[in-house]
A and B are shown apart, each in its own frame.
Chain A
Amino acid sequence: MLDRLWPSRRIPLALLLLGRQPARLAVALAGIAFAGILMFLQLGFRDGLFDASVVIHKRFDADLVLVSPRTMSSIAMAGFPRRRLVQVMADPAVAGITPVHWNFLLWRNPETRATRSILAVGFDPEDPLFLDPDLAEQARVLSQRGRVLFDALSRPEFGPIASWYRQGRSIDTEVAGQRVRVAGLVSIGPSFGADGNLLTSSETFLSLLPNTPPGSIELGLIRLRPGADPAEVSQRLKQRLPKDVTIFSKNGFIDFEKNYWRSSTAIGFIFTLGAGMGFVVGCVIVYQILYSDVSDHLPEYATLMAMGYPLPQLLAVVAREGLLLALFGYLPAWLIGQGLYALIRSGTQLPVSMDGPRSLLVFAMILTMCLVSALLAMRKLGDADPAEIF
């Protein structure tokens, strides 16, 4: 069957050369898989951390976002006059606004009584905050003063809030020294800056932070009428508003936050370096394997040359060995990577998953690793002198 479909088929020399030494092959594949897993982990952490930093940003129901020009990132949000957001309403393309308070407050773990910084977001329960409609329903309970919605995905250090709440216990604790009651659960997830999140009404927020300057907010969400061009409106608003506010598109706001973590911290560098180390380790392993494979078989390669096989055809055998190693090494790396991502998700709540681009990137890196090593090992093949084998 195969013979008829592929008549120019040759003996799969590369496969046989690798396969007849199962122990060496296993070492090679383990090495490549290890390098691949290392790359998956490092890149997964990196992307996961960047994605986590904008989990909440992505959910905002907004086309444009107003922040203070002094705001550097979600962990350092500066206030700006609420008036500016109201002024925006004058534009005919603007359909609605939501002023948002945003600050880190101390949460007391109701179980251990320890305190920990949590991100508190205050908004008017009448206004939409998130894109998903469930929140609007839940937000009604916030109109009662001293009620908060707790992020069920927050790190466990904040206390077993979610499980207590689901058991029906009423949870009263302190935020910034004031008594609050958990009136519901939401799912947001921790990020770099925030280990946990809670949502509350502006009124409650201001009572928790009584020193907030009157009329100051940290974030203004702007929703446009259907059909309005965000870029155009943003341009118009930029000209109309004073310089004490900065206007972003929603995606621009997300990129602004990601960019902060990318450029102002060592995180991107550290994890990219880690992935690079995996690449180098893999290169060394594959090179070692291929080099010793070529060395061991040098008389056989020389014999093939003497028989009339052209050198390029023999180089192609080494290249195919590299290719096969890449394919067989990638598979376990991908599978184990899946498992480790699941572990990371459950252990850290980071949004890490095996997405297409990263799978491809790691495959491309493994392929490069194997082919570069094969290329280096090929130089050894030049030592095969068919005149020496008689």
Chain B
Amino acid sequence: MVTSVSSTSPAAVRSSSIPTVAVRQLSHWYGSGVNLRQVLDRVDLTIHPGEVVLLTGPSGCGKTTLLTLVGALRQVMAGSIRLFGEELHGAGRAERQRLRCGIGMIFQGHNLLRCLSAEQNVQMGADLLPGLGYRSRRDLARRWLREVGLGDHLHKLPHDLSGGQKQRVAIARALAAQPRLLLADEPTAALDSRTGREVVELLRSLARDQGCSVLMVTHDSRILDLADRLVRMEDGRLYEGLFNDREASGSVG
């Protein structure tokens, strides 16, 4: 299903199929009573297949909450999220887990399994694919590691890899599961600027090849030019574009 759209350009896909993510009037809050704290306020966001969207904003403004909601890691409280056309509001634990198989996640701290080699880590991603034999899943893992430039480090443990290499393994792992959506939370935070940009460039080109959408939270201003679209979050509200939009910020409640 993913490969079928990989040959077409993102623009063509955009007009022909349902959006990968469609967020409508999404609100979210933590705590209750006097401690109630609203983190998301009537957020709208649409991500089309193959689109790379960068999400910026000051820390604590709800970016990560939005990411976990779109990633089907949290229950939707109010509003609607349609993931690949399926409604997340009211979806149970098992259904969310099933939907997560279509989402690749890249974390700030890479979160590789310490006891597995690079190849085995990537294969944990490939193992999620149904109907593939052990050998083809392993070959898939190797191919992805070569794609991210780690063909010579297949059998190294995360412990023996540099920060940039670990993040590349994490990208390979996320992509090996052939996701339709990649969620990344500050993937460059632990990397120096050059490595950071390289990693994101790689991520973008590989995602493009797969026809996979990307939603990336970042503080890194040096990589903003790599996005198809920029969205900015402030006090739980979402704005298109990079620069402060003073006229809209008044409506935060």
- Chain A contacts to B: CB under 8 angstroms: 2-4, 6-11, 13, 16-17, 19-21, 297, 299-300, 303-311, 386-387, 389-390
Contacts and interface: CB of A to CB of B under 8 A. Distances in A.
Interface in B102-147: 102-105, 107-108, 111, 113-116, 120, 123-125, 127-128, 133-135, 138
B94 A310 contact: yes
B97 interface: yes
Chain A's interface: helix, strand, loop or mixed, by majority?
helix
Contact of A307 (B67, B105, B115, B116): B105
5 contacts: A3-B138, A11-B123, A304-B113, A309-B97, A311-B97
Given A6-B134, A387-B74, A308 B114 contact: no
Contacts of B190: none
B107 A309 contact: no
A3 B107 CA distance: 32
A308 B68 contact: no
B127 A11 contact: yes
- Most chain B CB inside 10 Å of its own CB: which residue of A2, A3, A305: A3
A389 B123 contact: no
- Most chain A CB inside 10 Å of its own CB: which residue of B102, B111, B135: B111
B100 A307 contact: yes
A7 B185 contact: no
B6 interface: no
Contact of A305 (B97, B113, B173): B97
Nearest to A296: B114
Contacts of A389: 107, 111
Interface in B66-110: 67-68, 71, 73-74, 94, 97-98, 100-105, 107-108
B64 interface: yes
A390 B217 CA distance: 11
A7 B134 contact: yes
Given A300-B113, A390-B68, A306 B133 contact: no
A322 to B, nearest CB: 17
A9 B100 contact: no
Interface of B: 64, 67-68, 71, 73-74, 94, 97-98, 100-105, 107-108, 111, 113-116, 120, 123-125, 127-128, 133-135, 138, 173-174, 177, 185
A20 B68 CA distance: 31
Nearest to B110: A303
Contact of B120 (A16, A305, A308, A390): A16
Contacts of A386: 73
Contact of A16 (B105, B116, B174): B116
B134 A20 contact: no
A389 B177 CA distance: 19
A7 B133 contact: yes
A25 to B, nearest CB: 12
A390 B120 CA distance: 22
Contacts of B97: 305, 308-311
Contact of A390 (B107, B115, B124, B134): B107
Contacts of A305: 97
A390 B100 contact: no
B123 A303 contact: no
Given A299-B111, A310-B94, A390-B67, 17 more contacts: A3-B133, A3-B134, A3-B135, A7-B133, A7-B135, A8-B134, A9-B134, A16-B116, A304-B124, A306-B71, A306-B100, A307-B100, A307-B101, A307-B124, A308-B177, A387-B73, A390-B73
B107 A308 contact: no
- Most chain A CB inside 10 Å of its own CB: which residue of B67, B71, B113: B113
B105 A309 contact: no
Contacts of B173: 307
Nearest to B64: A390
Contacts of A387: 68, 73-74
Nearest to B93: A311
Contact of B116 (A3, A11, A309): A11
- Most chain A CB inside 10 Å of its own CB: which residue of B100, B120, B174, B185: B100
A311 B100 CA distance: 13
A21 to B, nearest CB: 8
A122 B102 CA distance: 87
A6 B134 CA distance: 8
A327 to B, nearest CB: 19
A298 B99 CA distance: 22
A306 B134 contact: no
Contacts of B128: 307-309
Contact of B185 (A6, A8, A390): A390
A306 B174 CA distance: 11
Contacts of B134: 2-3, 6-10
A300 to B, nearest CB: 5
Nearest to A10: B127
Given A16-B116, A306-B73, A308-B103, A11 B111 contact: no
A13 B121 CA distance: 10
B75 to A, nearest CB: 9
Contacts of A308: 97-98, 100-103, 128, 177
